Amino acid sequence: MNASAPVARKLKVATTSLAGCFGCHMSILDIDERLFTLLEKVEFDRSPITDIKEVGDCDLGIIEGGLCNAENVEVLREFRRRCKVLVALGACAINGGLPAQRNTLSLPLLLQEVYRSEPGAEHGLIPNDPELPLPLNKVHPLHEVVHIDFFIPGCPPSADAIWAVLTGLLAGEERPLGHGLIRFD
Amino acid sequence: MSYGLENAEHPETLRRVAIDPVSRVEGHGKVTILLDEDDKVRQVRLHVVEFRGFERFIQGRPYWEVPVMVQRLCGICPVSHHLAASKAMDAIVGTRRLTPTAEKVRRLMHYGQMLQSHALHFFHLCSPDLLFGFSSDVARRNIVGVAAAHPETARRGVLLRRFGQEVIRVTAGKRIHGTGSIPGGVNKSVTREERDVLLADIYDILAWSRDAVALVKQLHGQDPALYNSFGVFRSSMLSLVSPGGDMDFYDGRLRARDEAGAILFDQVDYRDYHAHIREEVKPWSYMKFPFLAALGTDKGWYKVGPLARVQNCDQIPTPLADAERREFVDYSGGAPIHAPLAYHWARMIEMLHAAETIKDLLHDDDILGDDLVSTGERAREGIGVIEAPRGTLIHHYRVDDNDLVTMCNLIVSTTHNNQAMNEAIRHVAKRYLSGHKLTEGLLNHIEVAIRAFDPCLSCATHALGQMALEVTLVGADGGELDRLARHGDGTTSRPAP
Ligand code: SF4
């Protein structure tokens, strides 16, 4: 027995969802009871499951979703500044995913159509309050704007894939996902 | 009835406080509060800050892709979108009646999702507020804190959600964004082995669901004054009910009650939804504001979701949940309950109903069948409506002769609750925040009111506080990717790079 062994510091992990559907976050929760094992080793910083609104200095940042407006870009840059290692989780973060389907369309026409010409819409106006972030012309993947350390594909990646990467990173190892865990659907 | 805090005069003279992002909800939104020099609240708004344009870019896609595509609107209740779109596409392929196997496998999938979503919402997201107090320490006000203080509650929450997700995996092929439902039916049924695995757990799930209802009742009982008044906003209520007036999450007809509980309309074919529901757009949110056409924009607001469903139906068709429903209705002596915190109670009653229904379906051999699809005469328009965990969900499509979608209109559950959530937070702001120095704990009161509705703000952004008037998106390599500017009149343009 080694009474003087230092208590290992818990690793700090921040997560956020940008232009995603939260499915990737749900897949993190799909690790089920393994969540409790994880909590012995990590502490959550800013994340949709905590009430911490500003990201602090973290060991690991996990980002779901691509960039569809100016605020997404700010949050991404803040995560890059604060997190030692940044993971792009899922199709949207890696290549824009389904929201990037709008990239072939003109944004003003898109707004026009959704707010003015649908059945049942009253008052033909397009939301434009300064509180609303400016939409970008196209949806962009994360690595176009900041350096990303790891990519986990899938829509969403399976809980097992996420678990394999997380436990690897916690052990200080890079464990490439093999056949069965690498999926794109 | 409204609290008159939507539009302040001279907002430029007021101090702005933002809750940004709203946390422990599905999706992202933000709240802005404007205060005068005496700290009196003058304006409160819940903004949904993302715009995606799904309705537009789905156009031109083949109709059979739609049930798989649209579920990517939401990773928390993808099954709702998967099934609402499938129901609309059933009409396109001319299905009059699903095969018994298809109908029951879809129902099983849907009730599985109801169970997982309600468990997630209550245990993972809301229970910290209710167990620790709205102003409790921010560091432990999350599921991790619950796991430390109430390990058994947290564990059951995780296992209830897991069970619901497994029901979805067995019926849809994947826990999130599966492919099981297709126009005209399903592409798989359940095997005996899969059923037996689920059956092995169902009695625990039932017992824990009953305990969850008991826990919520106990919380109400500890502080009825708070639970009955916090964020109350009287409004009409809307949901599907079966032809016999029963609660039904998968199918039915529209029923609405006014704020006093009287029936406004009943047994309305949901294909006529646009005759009864109109939508208003406000400049400060990407989320529209639907209202009942007959009552107009001032009075037509309504609630959807568990609180509406439990009170709108005549009965719940499973015994344990119906006994709980009767106790819920009796609690207020039959007068409609409008308290947002009662959503949690109603939600746990529904979770129990979902568990009972799953048990019954697992005992029904039709789910093992192999007659999966039925079709008929091709149509050009389809409307699918379902009760999603958060409320009534409407999908409406037109499809051309080349099988491509030409029109899509979606009214998602959370949108129906837009006005109710805004009024709830205005009530809370008036009652708890106005005239006080704002603390983190007080601001959390606003979020507690929003969370009660279980909004799915369906997507994610984070605001910076004051928005820049011009943004430039520079790539990792230093090259400019995009640039745009906002002008004084609110319009935006792209300066030439
Ligand atoms: S990758 Fe798929 S699951 Fe993840 S956020 Fe995007 S659409 Fe949702």
Least confident of A39-43, B87-91, B222-226, B284-288: B284-288
Both structure tokens of B206: 């039932």
**A28: Cβ below 6 Å to ligand 1?**
no
ipTM: 0.91
Choose the most confident range, by mean pLDDT, from A165-174, B65-74, B192-201. B192-201
B392-433 per-position pLDDT tens digit: 999 999 999 999 999 998 888 888 888 888 899 899 988 998
Least confident of A113-117, B96-100, B174-178, B488-492: B488-492
Residue predicted with more confidence, A83 or B39: A83
Residues B446 and B350 in one domain: no
Of all atoms in ligand 1, which is nearest to the CA of residue A20?
Answer: 5
pLDDT at B250 over 70: yes
* pLDDT of res. A118: 52
Residue B424 lies in a domain: yes
**A102 neighbourhood in chain B, CB within 8 Å:** 52-53, 56-57
Residues B344 and B210 in one domain: yes
pLDDT at B332 over 70: yes
- Proportion of chain B above pLDDT 90, given as a percent: 65
pLDDT at A110 over 50: yes
pLDDT at A77 over 50: yes
**A90: Cβ below 6 Å to ligand 1?**
yes
Least confident of A2-11, B23-32, B214-223: A2-11
Reported confidence tier of residue A36, pLDDT bands at 50, 70, 90 = very high
**Cα–ligand 1 centroid distance for A89 (angstroms):** 8
pLDDT at A1 over 60: no
* pLDDT of res. A5: 52
Average pLDDT over residues B441-452: 90
Reported confidence tier of residue B485, pLDDT bands at 50, 70, 90 = very low
pLDDT at A33 over 70: yes
Of all atoms in ligand 1, which is nearest to the CA of residue A22?
Answer: 5
Least confident of B43-57, B102-116, B162-176, B311-325: B43-57
* pLDDT of res. B471: 43
* pLDDT of res. B190: 98
A30 to B20: CB separation less than 8 angstroms, yes or no:
no
Residue predicted with more confidence, B188 or A177: B188
B327 touches chain A (CB under 8 A): no
* pLDDT of res. A136: 87
Residues B356 and B222 in one domain: yes
Whether the CB-CB separation of A30 and B175 falls below 8 Å is answered with yes
* pLDDT of res. B460: 25
Residue predicted with more confidence, B117 or B412: B117
Residues B207 and B356 in one domain: yes
Residue predicted with more confidence, B487 or A49: A49
How close B272 comes to chain A (CA, Å)? 12
Minimum CA–CA partner of B74 in chain A: A21
Tell me the C-alpha distance between B357 and B112, whole Å.
9
Reported confidence tier of residue A48, pLDDT bands at 50, 70, 90 = confident
Q: Whose CA is nearest to atom 7 of ligand 1?
A: B72
Among B76, B141, B281, the residue with its CB nearest the CB of A123 is: B281
Residues B357 and B460 in one domain: no
pLDDT at B195 over 50: yes
Tell me the C-alpha distance between A163 and B380, whole Å.
45
The residues spanned by each domain of chain A are 11-101+138-170
* pLDDT of res. B256: 97
Reported confidence tier of residue B458, pLDDT bands at 50, 70, 90 = very low
Q: Name the phi and psi angles at B356, rounded to 5.
A: -65, -40
Structural domain harbouring B484? 11-49+419-493
Least confident of B301-310, B457-466, B488-497: B457-466
Average pLDDT over residues B103-113: 98
Total domains, chain B = 2
- Contact map slice: B 33-92 vs A, CB within 8 A: 45, 47, 49-53, 55-57, 69, 72-76, 78
* pLDDT of res. A170: 86
**A151: Cβ below 6 Å to ligand 1?**
no
Average pLDDT over residues B190-209: 98
**B409 neighbourhood in chain A, CB within 8 Å:** 118-120
Among A16, A63, A92, say which to mutate for ligand 1: greatest number of ligand atoms within 8 Å of CB: A92
A49-71 per-position pLDDT tens digit: 888 888 999 999 999 999 988 88
Residues B368 and B433 in one domain: no
Pairing mode, if any, of strands B181-182 and B185-186?
antiparallel
**Cα–ligand 1 centroid distance for B316 (angstroms):** 35
* pLDDT of res. B481: 57
B149-182 per-position pLDDT tens digit: 999 999 999 999 999 999 999 999 999 999 999 9
* pLDDT of res. B487: 39
- Give me the helices (H) in B121-272, please: 127-132, 143-149, 151-172, 192-222, 224-229
Q: Name the phi and psi angles at A129, rounded to 5.
A: -65, 145
Among A26, A72, A155, say which to mutate for ligand 1: greatest number of ligand atoms within 8 Å of CB: A155
B348-369 per-position pLDDT tens digit: 999 999 999 999 999 999 999 9
Residue B211 lies in a domain: yes
**A17 neighbourhood in chain B, CB within 8 Å:** 27-28, 459-460
pLDDT at B438 over 90: no
For position B153, which CATH number holds? 1.10.645.10
Residues B129 and B218 in one domain: yes
Q: Which of B348, B373, B398 is the last residue of a domain?
A: B373
Of all atoms in ligand 1, which is nearest to the CA of residue A154?
Answer: 1
Minimum CA–CA partner of A155 in chain B: B177
Residue type present at position B234: R
Both structure tokens of B443: 């601001």
The CATH architecture that domain A11-101+138-170 belongs to is 3-Layer(aba) Sandwich (3.40)
**Cα–ligand 1 centroid distance for A26 (angstroms):** 10
Residues B110 and B223 in one domain: yes
Minimum CA–CA partner of B441 in chain A: A51
Element (H, E) at B253: strand B253-257
Least confident of A62-71, A115-124, B253-262, B445-454: A115-124
Of all atoms in ligand 1, which is nearest to the CA of residue A27?
Answer: 3
Least confident of A70-74, B322-326, B467-471: B467-471
B138 touches chain A (CB under 8 A): yes
Contacts (Cβ under 8 Å, ≥6 apart) of B26? A22, A48, B74, B76, B121, B125, B454, B455, B456, B457, B458
* pLDDT of res. B489: 37
**Cα–ligand 1 centroid distance for B70 (angstroms):** 11
Least confident of A66-70, B28-32, B34-38, B433-437: B28-32
